């Protein structure tokens, strides 16, 4: 009788462990699904002309994308499936969605040139994600090679958000010099090509939160939070813009040292 009880208890323990394992396994993939939904939602809102909501949805996708991998590592539920699913989700949220937002907002009047720019962005995002997957355990540690797709999406949609907030559209003249649609086209192409370039962008992977951090760094983080709370579109555009320019600054510095 005791033996039967022991066997029953062991089965219960195994079942409990199995369920628990699958529950934790579902958690990071659920967050990835939330990121995918945010990307899809941003496309829907852009088609309805609600560009602010479309931009916010992309930023939610970026936050979700940053969480799923960390949660998988913390819960020891990393898997090949999760990595592939995350990459496909990123393609929608940081590749297709930003391109369609730009196309609907200001590139459409350019005809073929407009949709070609949107496609080039999608293609470069796919290439960037594929290259990241290949180099995951090789080169991309302290630096990313090429602008990361979440940063590219953040820069593009924050530009749309800022411009839309200030009343600019595709038919507007940018600083009395050039039509906004051409500014958008140029920016889309520049960001797209930056993703597939070999320009180095700081990854932040070498930061250890357990170690002491310089006081200046803490002040900068606090300042960033204050600016984002005060004026989200402008602050995000400036912060991501500085990150984008930092890659080109590294490139110039590299050539100077080489000489």
Q: DSSP strand E in the chain: where?
A: 143-145, 173-174, 178-179, 200-202
Of 191 and 229, the structure prediction assigns the larger pLDDT to 191
Give CA angle at 206 (153, 73), nearest 5°: 75
Q: What pLDDT sits at residue 15?
A: 39
Q: How far is CA 70 from the centre of its chain?
A: 15
Number of domains in the chain: 1
* pLDDT tens digits for range 77-113: 888 888 889 999 999 999 999 999 999 999 999 999 9
Alpha-carbon distance 20 to 61, whole Å? 27
Alpha-carbon distance 117 to 124, whole Å? 11
Q: What pLDDT sits at residue 175?
A: 54
Exposure class string for 189-205: b at 16+ Cβ within 10 A, else e: bebbebbbbebbbeeee
> How distant, in Å, are the alpha carbons of 13, 14, 15, 16, 216 from that of 2?
16, 18, 20, 21, 65
Is the distance from CB of 176 to CB of 229 less than 8 angstroms?
no
Domain with 48, as residue range(s), is 2-258
Is the distance from CB of 121 to CB of 98 less than 8 angstroms?
yes
Q: What is the CATH number of the domain that holds 26?
A: 1.20.120.1760
Alpha-carbon distance 103 to 254, whole Å? 35
Q: Of the candidates 225, 155, 219, which has an alpha carbon nearest to the alpha carbon of residue 187?
A: 155
R_g over Cα of the chain:
22
Is the distance from CB of 82 to CB of 29 less than 8 angstroms?
yes
* pLDDT tens digits for range 206-222: 666 566 666 666 777 77
């Amino acid at each position: 009788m005791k033996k039967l009880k022991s066997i029953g208890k062991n089965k219960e323990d195994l079942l409990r462990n199995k369920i628990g394992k699958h529950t934790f396994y579902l958690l990071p993939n659920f967050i990835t699904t939330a990121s995918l939904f945010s990307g899809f939602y941003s496309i829907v809102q852009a088609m309805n002309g609600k560009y602010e909501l479309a931009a916010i949805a992309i930023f939610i996708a970026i936050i979700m994308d940053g969480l799923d991998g960390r949660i998988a590592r913390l819960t020891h539920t990393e898997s090949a499936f999760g990595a592939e699913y995350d990459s496909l989700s990123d393609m929608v949220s940081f590749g297709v969605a930003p391109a369609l937002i730009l196309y609907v907002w200001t590139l459409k009047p350019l005809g073929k040139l407009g949709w070609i720019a949107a496609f080039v962005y999608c293609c470069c995002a796919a290439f960037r994600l594929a290259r990241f997957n290949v180099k995951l355990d090789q080169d991309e540690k302290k630096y990313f090679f090429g602008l990361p797709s979440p940063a590219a999406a953040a820069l593009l949609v924050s530009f749309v958000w800022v411009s839309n907030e200030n009343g600019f559209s595709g038919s507007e003249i940018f600083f009395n010099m050039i039509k906004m649609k051409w500014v958008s086209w140029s920016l889309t192409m520049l960001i797209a090509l930056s993703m597939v370039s070999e320009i180095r962008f700081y990854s932040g992977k070498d930061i250890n939160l357990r170690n002491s951090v310089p006081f200046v760094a803490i002040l900068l983080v606090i300042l960033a939070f204050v600016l984002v709370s005060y004026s989200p579109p402008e602050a995000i555009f400036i912060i991501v813009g500085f990150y984008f320019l930092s890659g080109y600054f590294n490139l110039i510095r590299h050539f100077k040292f080489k000489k």
